A = this chain, B = another copy of it.
Amino acid sequence: MGNTFGKRLQLHTWGESHGSRIGGILEGMPAGITLDLEKIQAFCDRRKPGQSELSTPRKESDILHISSGVFEGKTTGMPISFHFENTNTKSEDYDKFKNVFRPGHADQTYHQKYGNRDHRGGGRSSARETANWVAAGAIASHLLPEVKAVAFVEQIGAVKVDVDLKSVHKDLVEQSIVRCPDSAGTMKMVKSIESARLEGDSLGGVIGCVVRNVPASLGDPVFDKLHARLGFAMLAINAVKGFEYGAGFSAAAMKGSAHNDLFDEHGMLVENRSGGVIGGISNGHEIHFRVAFKPVASISKTQKMANAEGTGVSAQVKGRHDPCVVPRAVPIVEAMTYLVLADLWL
CB pair B236–A241 under 8 Å, yes or no, is no
Q: Hey, which chain B residues are within 8 Å of A274, CB to CB?
A: 104
Whole-angstrom CA separation of A119 from B243 in the bound complex: 31
A337 within 8 Å of B by Cβ?
no
Q: Please state if B103 and A23 are interface contacts (CB–CB under 8 Å).
A: no
Tell whether A245 is near chain B: CB-to-CB under 8 Å.
yes
The distance from the CB of A179 to the nearest CB of chain B, in whole angstroms, is 15
Does A83 make an interface contact (CB < 8 A)? yes
What residues on B are CB-neighbors of A31 within 8 Å?
114-116
Q: Are B256 and A201 in contact (CB under 8 A)?
A: yes
Interface hits, A232-278 → B, CB 8 Å: 232-233, 235-236, 241-249, 251-268, 270, 274-275, 278
Cβ-defined contact, A202 with B243, below 8 A:
no
A209 at interface by CB-CB < 8 Å: no
Q: Within the complex, what minimum Cβ distance (angstroms) separates A288 from chain B?
A: 11
Q: Which residues of B contact A296 (CB under 8 A)?
A: 256
Q: Give min CB distance, A262 to chain B, whole Å.
A: 4
Given known A201-B256, A201-B257, contact A278–B81 (CB-CB < 8 A): no
Inter-chain contact A83/B106, CB cutoff 8 Å: no
Contact of A78 among B76, B106, B124, B282 (CB under 8 A): B124
Show 21 residue pairs from A and B whose CB-CB distance is below 8 angstroms, ordered by the A residue.
Answer: A3-B25, A3-B27, A3-B220, A3-B222, A5-B223, A12-B79, A13-B222, A20-B67, A74-B116, A77-B113, A101-B263, A104-B256, A108-B278, A110-B221, A125-B279, A199-B255, A224-B236, A247-B294, A248-B292, A260-B297, A265-B311
Q: Which of B105, B228, B247, B260 contacts A279 (CB 8 A)?
A: B105
Bound CA span A87–B103, Å: 47
A131 CB–B CB distance under 8 Å: no
List, in ascending order, chain B residues with CB within 8 A of A10's CB: 1, 4
Q: Most B CB atoms within 10 A — which of A79, A256, A297?
A: A256
Residue of B nearest to A248 (CB): B242
Interchain CB contact under 8 A, B252 and A206: yes
Binding site for B on A (CB under 8 A): 1-5, 10, 12-16, 19-23, 25, 27-28, 31-32, 67-69, 71, 74, 76-81, 83, 101, 103-106, 108-110, 112-116, 118, 122-125, 129, 155, 157-158, 196, 199, 201-206, 216-217, 220-225, 227-229, 231-233, 235-236, 241-249, 251-268, 270, 274-275, 278-284, 292-299, 301, 303-307, 309-312
Task: Determine whether the beta carbon of A279 is less than 8 Å from that of B109.
Answer: yes
B244-A241 in contact (CB<8A): yes
Most buried by B among A23, A103, A123: A103
Given A109-B216, A204-B253, also A267-B76 (CB < 8 A):
no
Cβ of A316 to closest chain B Cβ, rounded Å: 12
B116 touches A244 (CB 8 A): no
**Which residues of chain B are near A13, meaning CB under 8 Å?**
79, 222
Judging by beta carbons under 8 Å apart, are B260 and A249 in contact? no
A268 to B309, CA, bound (A): 11
